[in-house]
Amino acid sequence: MAERELISFDWAMKRVLRSPANSSVLEGFLSVLLNQEIKIEAILESESNKAFADDKYNRLDLKVRDAKGDLIIIEIQYDYQFDFFQRMLFGASKTIVEHMYKGDNYEKVVKVISVNILNFDLGKGEDYVYVGKTCFIGMHRHDKLKLDEKQQKYFDKKYPEDLFPEYYLIKVKNFDDLAKTPLDEWIYFLKNSSVKTSFTAPGLSDAVEKLSLMQMSREERMAYDNYIDMIRQRQSAHMSAKMSGIFEGRAEGRAEGRAEEKLEIAAKMLKAGFSLEQITDITGLKLEEIQKLSK
């Protein structure tokens, strides 16, 4: 069956999907995942946004506000992180705090939906999509707690879980590539950076149109290929270190290697005509470091 090769979803979020003109791709993915129609109202910047998955600090790849006012944060993680559950909690909590203003009442706490696309196996489970919500269940009668009538009317919600953060874990490596549902079709794309011509999930046709490798200029393709090569090298180095049991001994050397790779990519992007802002966003380098390359 014919397939169309597309750019990876993480690169798309850094470069293409930040444009409102391309919001239909994200809307399709989120609508299928959350099983409700999602309309993106704004693409937001965050203090937590970083450019690379292995940064030591909390990083969000993308943060959007939907038409209902809920915030949806999306992160792609390549390397295993044993405390990733706490990282998800921190990311959602930090997003709530970032959108609270001095003097706001608690009713202003924003609803956060955390979508995490993982290229490693987190926890112990056989499924490839997990959903986490905060439900209140009676200890004795085992009934599910609802909001009272006034709260339901005021917040337009039925259960407390509708006010609390929600977490979605997509473990792409657990997916067997058999796409039986629209969500499966999206996960196939997340895992393989390609779609089959028979796929009909909402948003995928727009993804084919907007994320095609064939539409890239020579300079864009060069920067993209370098980025993918960096990801592969990092994953290979990480796996080698894990197998040989020398994480601590070579941590400093790996950090130096990544820094050199980032500088090489920045130099190529400067030559290709990318702006300083684009280069800092993609490589995570400081503006001063990039300016030195241009001299």
pLDDT digit string, tens, across residues 7-23: 777 777 766 777 788 88
The predicted model scores a pTM of: 0.71
* 295 vs 112 pLDDT, higher one: 112
For the chain, what are the domain ranges? 3-210, 217-293
Residues in contact with 220: Cβ distance below 8 Å, sequence separation at least 6, in sequence order: 272
Residue 49 pLDDT exceeds 90: no
Q: Is the pLDDT of residue 54 over 50?
A: no
Residue 253 clears pLDDT 70, i.e. is over it: no
DSSP assignment string, 149-214:
HHHHHHHS-SSGGGTS-EEEEEEGGG--S---SHHHHHHHHHHHSEEETT---TTHHHHHHHSBGG
**Confidence class of residue 231 from pLDDT cuts 50, 70 and 90?**
low
Q: Give the model's confidence band at 248: pLDDT under 50 very low, under 70 low, under 90 confident, else very high.
A: low
Q: How far apart are CA 57 and CA 22, in angstroms?
A: 28
Backbone angles phi, psi at 217, to 5 degrees: -75, 170
**Cα–Cα distance, 70 to 115 (Å, whole number):** 13
Give the separation between CA 127 and CA 129, rounded to whole angstroms: 6
| Contact of 157 with 163, CB cutoff 8 Å | yes
